Amino acid sequence: MIARALTAFVLLPGGLAWTASRQPLSETVAPSHEVSYGASQETKASQLRGFDERLNVADEESSVMPSWARAGLAALAMVAAVAFAPRAALAESNVNMYVGQGCFWHVQHELVKQETADLGRKAADITALSGYAGGTEVGSKGEVCYHNMAMAPDYGRMGHTEVVNVSVPEGKVGDFAKAYFDAASKYPFGRADPQDRGTEYRSAIGIPGGMDGPLFKEVEAANNGRLQLVRGQGNDADTVGTKKVWIYDSNQFPFHQGEIYHQFHDDMLERYSQEYHQLKKVLYSAGTLQKVACPERR
């Protein structure tokens, strides 16, 4: 019996692909016409010629298909291949979080070290920037500025504190929070730079949604009960000597980048490398660090 043209979807490593297939050879050529191993050479040759002729007829008949049908099946095969082909795992999305713990100069240096060590980031990939957050006010043009003599909107008077913003993969939020709590918990007064007093230096963490957001569990687990996590309301009190950390919803209390001269600065008691200071120029050239509408003292 001559084979009928059949269409089928077969699952291949690359996905679904359409193929035209014939019925098994046992049906396309009758078993009774198989080559007899005990026959003479002339008989075998005759049988093989007959086998080839029937197979050729089956091939020709399986290819007799309207062009529109072949085109439609080809298109369907392409769609199936795209839909079911293996896909590379989606890159984990990054999330912006900010942390504050006394003067932001020291905090920024610690975060840059962690970006380099834990995330393998090079100079141009660094994201840690100093700035302000946690206040309920901003200037008429959105300014949040350091203390100045030019009467520009002062971050302290508007209730903000010094923080450093960093962009990290969602799965690394807990690691960055743990490093923060490891440092904070060892300080006798609950945060670095206890000599800096006032609401501008309170301990703070800002994440999307704050304590009601999906990332808070990671932060809470990283803390492991060592410090008291308190919902930030804005314009909150200093935390020195209290072991408290204000947790802010970064959507409600967003980060405001600080002036360029505050970026990658030596700390009050520490001096950092020239490579670290050079990050200011590198990130400014890359557009990561931008000028703000505030006075630049240096």
Sequential pLDDT tens for the chain (298 residues)? 444 333 333 333 333 333 333 344 333 333 333 333 344 444 444 444 443 444 344 444 444 556 555 555 455 445 444 444 444 334 679 999 999 999 999 999 999 999 999 999 999 999 999 999 999 999 999 999 999 999 999 999 999 999 999 999 999 999 999 999 999 999 888 777 767 889 999 999 999 999 999 999 999 999 999 999 999 999 999 999 899 999 999 999 999 999 999 999 999 889 999 999 999 999 999 999 999 999 998 5
**In the numeric block, which tokens belong to residue 75?**
């298109």
Q: What is the pLDDT of residue 199?
A: 96
Q: What is the pLDDT of residue 75?
A: 54
DSSP state of 241: T
Q: What is the pLDDT of residue 190?
A: 79
Give the containing element (helix H, strand E) for 254.
none
If one counts every other C-beta atom within 10 angstroms of the C-beta of residue 88, the result is 5
Instruction: Decide: helix, strand or coil at residue 16.
Output: strand
Region class of 225: left (phi > 0), else alpha (psi between -120 and 50), else beta: left
**C-beta pairs of 283-290 under 8 Å, 24+ apart in sequence:** 283/123, 283/124, 283/126, 283/129, 284/260, 286/124, 288/124, 288/126, 288/127, 288/129, 289/129, 289/257, 289/260, 289/263, 290/257
Assess contact for 256 and 131: CB atoms under 8 A.
yes
The CA distance from 245 to 250, in Å, is: 15
- Closest listed residue to residue 58, CA positions, set 26, 14, 89: 26
Instruction: Decide: helix, strand or coil at residue 207.
Output: strand
Class in CATH terms, 94-286: alpha beta
Q: What is the pLDDT of residue 74?
A: 54
Domain ranges for the chain, please list them. Answer: 6-84, 94-286
Instruction: Decide: helix, strand or coil at residue 298.
Output: coil
The CA distance from 151 to 288, in Å, is: 27
pTM score: 0.70
Q: What is the pLDDT of residue 84?
A: 47
Assess contact for 163 and 255: CB atoms under 8 A.
yes
Q: What is the pLDDT of residue 114?
A: 98
Give, rounded to a whole angstrom, the gap between the first and last alpha carbons of the chain: 92
